[in-house]
Amino acid sequence: MKSDPGLTRLGAALRAARKKAGWTQEKLADRAHVDRTYVGFIERGARNVTFLSLLKIRDALGISWKEFGALLDHEFGRH
């Protein structure tokens, strides 16, 4: 099944935030209390992440919604 472009961009923004933190998917998953494979699915745009999971992941990364929104804007070409 082909991924939705919006989910792909969301995953890319999440990957950018994770890499900026210098974390592996496993470390992020551990800190966010989600499964590592779930993080991988989200980053590939293969899963429609729930708001609660996104909240856990964002909190684990220690970034604000504004920072995460800026990453999303970058992925959507809205600089």
Distances (CA, A) of 18 to 1, 2, 62, 75: 25, 24, 10, 15
Q: Is residue 44 part of a domain?
A: yes
pLDDT tens sequence across 21-66: 999 999 999 999 999 999 999 999 999 999 999 999 999 999 999 9
| pLDDT of 46 | 95
| pLDDT of 79 | 64
- Domain with 22 in it: what CATH number? 1.10.260.40
Domain count, the chain: 1
- Residue type (1 letter), 48: N
Q: Is residue 79 part of a domain?
A: no
Range of the domain at 10: 5-74
